[in-house]
Structure 1
């Protein structure tokens, strides 16, 4: 056997290895793309859940009839976090739909002024090399809470014309039943970790 024959015969042996490596790399690239698609769908669903939970809590805060809570016990409970405002799930549903998701549930908590919303993305992850993703939808959950920005202080005198005062960041506000502040000035809405 001559050196020229051996070189010609050995040059074709690496081709199957290269084909296998290229096919493997192509499959890995497609798998990473599928994971990226799933991650994007999950992020979109989480955005929708966050927006829906915040909207539900904000709607509840903004519709709070503060004039209904002007007795000392109610104000103490309201600013102590023991009372909650009206239902806000309708606004949560609207914001879920605006973010291309459907609201699966909106839970109004009764141990604190909070809403937990679960949404499902309207669009599936799509066709990928991974089986089952073509009909899979991303699901996400978020909780938003309404917290007082102020603390309530009852009047010293039982015959006081005012139901009490609010201390908000060092400023004292005497409550006037004929000119009540907007609830958005008294309560903050934020996302919670749970």
Structure 2
């Protein structure tokens, strides 16, 4: 009887080893999946921050050309011909969130009074799982899109002296109300930019 028990125990030992090895594999696999998900979430956060930074910097840079367009009655042309200048700011925010702007880069399109800025990023930390092949250099990627939108659908210009030069623009802005800008003595751009332009994330 004693010999039989020893033989049974000896036969069961390899099964235990396989079971323990399988459980360890599952543990490491779940860990790798969890790490990949965390890195993906981090990359998405970096992409969101980078896209918003690019949009906000672009809005700040509108100041001089926007105000310069008013005296010459070129406002309509300006609103449909922006230059997106905030891409360097996108890299700064991506780096602050452990990511870099990827090969997809910082892309923009302008439709009407809306500038759409899409930023792609790649996380700096790899998944690097010992149990999942191909993850040693696998890094999370994500994209996000922000828009800079002129939110004053109606405006009127007043020429007090009838000399053909507009003395005052009154914009009616959604969610804000009336915003007045006198081209001859314009207010600081920082005071009016957030009223004239809305910046927010949108679905890609």
Structure 1 length normalisation: TM-score?
A: 0.81
**Take 1:27 and 1:52, find their aligned partners in 2: how far apart are those partners?**
37
**Take 2:122 and 2:43, find their aligned partners in 1: how far apart are those partners?**
6
Gaps of at least 5 residues in structure 2 are none
Aligned length: 189
- After superposing the two structures, state which structure 1 stretch, 119-128 or 27-36, moved more: 119-128
Gaps of at least 5 residues in structure 1 are none
Q: Does structure 2 conserve the Cα–Cα contact (< 8 Å) formed by 1:62 and 1:184?
A: no
2:169 counterpart of 1:163: yes
1:62 to 60, 66, 72: 60
Structure 2 length normalisation: TM-score?
A: 0.77
Of Structure 1 and Structure 2, the greater strand share is in: 2
* Equivalent residue runs for 1:1-194 within 5 Å: 10=8, 13-65=11-63, 66-70=66-70, 74-75=75-76, 78=79, 82-104=80-102, 105-111=105-111, 112-155=114-157, 159=162, 161-169=167-175, 171-177=177-183, 178-180=185-187, 181-194=191-204
Q: Does structure 2 conserve the Cα–Cα contact (< 8 Å) formed by 1:72 and 1:164?
A: no
Deviation (angstroms), 1:54:
0.6
Task: Give a deviation string over 1:113-145, Cα, whole Å, max 9, x none.
Answer: 021111111222223310111111111111111
Q: Does structure 2 conserve the Cα–Cα contact (< 8 Å) formed by 1:75 and 1:152?
A: no
Task: Give a deviation string over 1:19-68, Cα, whole Å, max 9, x none.
Answer: 33222222111111111111122122111111111100000001112202
